[in-house]
Chains A and B, each alone.
Chain A
Amino acid sequence: MDKMPKWADVVLIPLISLILAAILSALVILGIGEDPVAAVNMMVSGALGSTYGWGYTLYYATNFMFTGLAVAVAFHARLFNIGGEGQAMLGGLGVAMICLYIPWPHWTMALLAACAASMLFGAVWAAIPAYLQARRGSHIVITTIMFNFIAAALLNYMLVNVMRPDGSMDPASERFPAAVHLPTLHELLAPIGISFSKAAPANVSLLVAVLACVVVWALIWRTRLGYEIRAYGHSESGALYAGISPFKITMVAMLISGALAGLMATNNVMGEAERLVLNSTEGAGFIGIAVALMGRSHPFGVFLAAILFGFLYQGGAELALWTNIPRELIVVIQALVILFTGALDNMVRMPLEKVFLALRKGKA
């Protein structure tokens, strides 16, 4: 017997967790002598009150969708991929090479090639820790974290020594040619009569992210590979019994995970910066973990959680810009949300299960 109805598990628990995080955040804001109500207003209007705000929220959300999906796919195989950050950096390298070194006649072809390259680079970066886990038993959490640092160092080297234009002091690549410019939401929506902020960075790769959600959903719940990944994730001895190779699943799940994280580069590198800079990922790889946790590793949940975190990011930026609340406190608020929705899940779940059991007993 399940202890709770499904809707409670999917909707109620995250909602209560969020409210708890909000209350605690409000107390913290009060503690530094600011007005929490005003802060919430500021966040909402800043992130959702204008198409400019929405444009940023969705831009961040796009990043988080990719990295959230990456973590979610690995989760289904009970692999904890903390390397989304590094895989996304490598994805950026792939995108930059595609955009800089090949002349593209049209952005659609460039986008397809960039998708392929970013997925390949991300997957390769995930493949090494995956192999070490599957063959040597090196713990994937440790190796993927270490690979984040290696990725950062590699990117640093590439930008400083290889891709930096002559005479430039900035460790960044050249600007991508105009032909590979991805249409922003402004450019996409203008022809159908909707006016969207010109300045906002949200772009066509949002559609790629949504498509990725659908593809991941089909992969996990509709294909044989997804079936094997989930079976392996639930029981390794069961997988062995059913003839599912643990090596194969570990490799494949991590390759897909790395490819999804790498795909993020189509948004932040190709869609927004239009050149490769240091730290272009801005921690999105780590936020992906929280997004996957909150979204219960379900693509639809990841979609919603990514938008929520996009809102927190953009709203937080507004808050830091317009109030005396320091930037660090925004990070605290985001951390509280992660803490409550991810780590403290059972704190909400267990009392709630008791409530539902009591309700059921009352009815029976």
Chain B
Amino acid sequence: MTVPAIELKGISKSFGPVQANKDISISVAPGTIHGIIGENGAGKSTLMSILYGFYKADKGEIWINGKKTEIPDSQAAIAAGIGMVFQHFKLVENFTVLENIILGAEDGGLLKPSLAKARRTLAELAAEYELNVDPDAVIEEIGVGMQQRVEILKALYRQAEILILDEPTGVLTPAEADQLFRILHRLKDEGKTIILITHKLREIMEATDTVSVMRRGEMTATVKTAETSPEHLAELMVGRKVLLRVDKVPAKPGKPILEIENLRVTDDKGVERVKGIDLTVRAGEIMGIAGVAGNGQSELLEVLGGMRPGSGAIRLNGAPLPLSGPGSDARARRAAHVAHVPEDRQREGLIMEFHAWENVAFGYHHDPAYQSGIFMNNAALRADTDRKIEKFDVRPADGWLAAKNFSGGNQQKIVVAREIERNPDLLLVGQPTRGVDIGAIEFIHKQIVALRDQGKAVLLVSVELEEIFGLADRIAVMFDGHIMGERLPDETDEKELGLLMAGVNGEAA
């Protein structure tokens, strides 16, 4: 038996009353890709932060290459040969690739020798691992896939033998993700050890040799990837059997509910983000908008939800809705029976400091049922909240709790309950399951499908292709503010959508 590259022994860490890691032990063999999977809040990130020296474990030991190692800060982690690629890149946008790579690892006060040395090393690394990047390109001008490669190179430049990647595919197109996995395999073949943190079962199955499952701060299992299945892993993550595919009957599309013509939207900085799109969503169907984050989907939702002005024309049930000026705000949209589950529930969908019952009125606080004379009828509101909490199985079932004290999944359930229970003609949904645990995902998906089956129109924006495929009856792909094409889920695959998401038009190619 070889000496493990990393061995964690009985790591425990708590934040106040919350135990984030409970007696966790894993052992990762050198030259392997080890996956760590778990729901949000399962403690994956905490564990990796301990390994990288951001947090100090309350208890437990870290052994690197058979040596007990103290890692009080990230400098010590780097010295121990650990490199980390964060979910949100830590690059200086207006620096070149080379400048970013030496940042914090300069050899002296003068930059020139460092840069020259880095240039040589980079060429060697590129040759060794097929990690090609232009050293003189400026970060803000290269794509996210390339930026991620710079992050990996940064770690390798610091002589990392162990590479930790935290949710690396969140911002990548499927093609870019495949490329990343090829790079990871190459690194593995050269003897590097890789830890891949993700909540996507597909990636675990594709990329890893062994996988550890975390649930509520505990390591529930470590298995060889070849000997397991996605269903089994999901069960280990959630603690019960879950339905990975959404159960739904074929859609019966009716008359058009939402018609969009030549819609253009400009963001706060004056950049045009939606560049003249046409789209129709019919009654009884879920229209899925796929695309890599930042290609105009958010702005599209915001305009439809009345949070931002636009130009062009939208019609709801045949009647035009104003896109700017009076009658274009979110209140008017709600009055027109458009409900909106926003992309960012913490910044938009909820007031985190408000009680759950106050949040149930959020956006609908003009509802006559919630008024009593000049005051708000808080008793009626609380009764309504209790009903919704029960129906949507929000836990803990306590309307007096502040929104911030619910888990992500239960926060989202509150938002979804509020919006769906209004029985809207059109439901706008943005990233409905981002940061939501698998159990709640299943429930939220069911609610959306149920609304569709009542003959309502749903516009779904998601960066998770799995979710798009699972829910949508039609798929439109957005890239750079344009709709690249519409497909039926049965007649397309991830590869084709991936190309569209990258801006490659199938017909033209």
Contacts and interface: CB of A to CB of B under 8 A. Distances in A.
B38 interface: no
A269 B113 CA distance: 74
B332 A234 contact: no
B331 interface: yes
A181 B288 CA distance: 72
B374 A242 contact: no
B348 A235 contact: yes
Contacts of A360: 16-17
A243 B332 CA distance: 8
Given A243-B306, A360-B17, A224 B352 contact: no
Contact of A242 (B17, B353, B365, B375): B365
B376 A241 contact: no
Contact of A224 (B334, B350, B365): B365
Interface centre among A1, A228, A230 (most CB of B within 10 A): A1
Nearest to B405: A1
Contacts of A364: 17
Interface of A: 1-3, 218, 222-224, 227-228, 230-231, 234-235, 237-238, 240-245, 357, 360-361, 364
Given A1-B16, A222-B375, A227-B358, A234 B352 contact: yes
B295 to A, nearest CB: 20
Contacts of A237: 307, 344, 347-348
A49 to B, nearest CB: 42
B365 A1 contact: no
A245 B17 CA distance: 39
Given A1-B16, A223-B374, A224-B366, A238 B333 contact: no
Interface in B63-117: none
B333 A243 contact: yes
Interface in B1-54: 16-18
A106 to B, nearest CB: 29
B16 A357 contact: yes
Contacts of B18: 1
Contacts, number: 79
Given A3-B16, A361-B17, A223 B347 contact: no
23 contacts: A1-B17, A2-B402, A3-B16, A223-B376, A227-B361, A227-B365, A230-B354, A231-B354, A231-B362, A235-B351, A237-B307, A237-B344, A238-B351, A240-B307, A241-B330, A241-B342, A241-B348, A241-B363, A242-B365, A243-B329, A244-B331, A245-B329, A360-B17
A231 B366 CA distance: 14
Nearest to B374: A223
A1 to B, nearest CB: 6
A147 B290 CA distance: 51
A244 B366 CA distance: 11
Contacts of A357: 16-17
Contacts of A241: 305, 307, 330, 340, 342, 348-349, 363
B373 to A, nearest CB: 10
A243 B348 contact: no
B355 to A, nearest CB: 11
6 nearest interchain CB pairs? A243-B331, A243-B330, A242-B363, A241-B348, A357-B16, A222-B375
Given A224-B365, A238-B347, A218 B17 contact: no
A249 B85 CA distance: 43
Nearest to A231: B351
B353 to A, nearest CB: 5
Nearest to B334: A243
B121 interface: no
A234 B353 contact: yes
Contacts of B222: none
Nearest to A222: B375
B346 to A, nearest CB: 9
B447 interface: no
A360 to B, nearest CB: 6
Nearest to A240: B307
B362 A242 contact: yes
Given A234-B354, A242-B362, 18 more contacts: A1-B16, A1-B17, A222-B378, A224-B365, A224-B366, A224-B376, A230-B354, A235-B352, A241-B307, A241-B363, A242-B330, A242-B331, A243-B329, A244-B331, A357-B17, A361-B16, A361-B17, A364-B17
Given A1-B405, A364-B17, A243 B363 contact: yes
A3 B307 CA distance: 34
Contacts of B347: 235, 237-238
Contacts of B331: 242-244
Contacts of B307: 237, 240-241
A228 B330 CA distance: 14
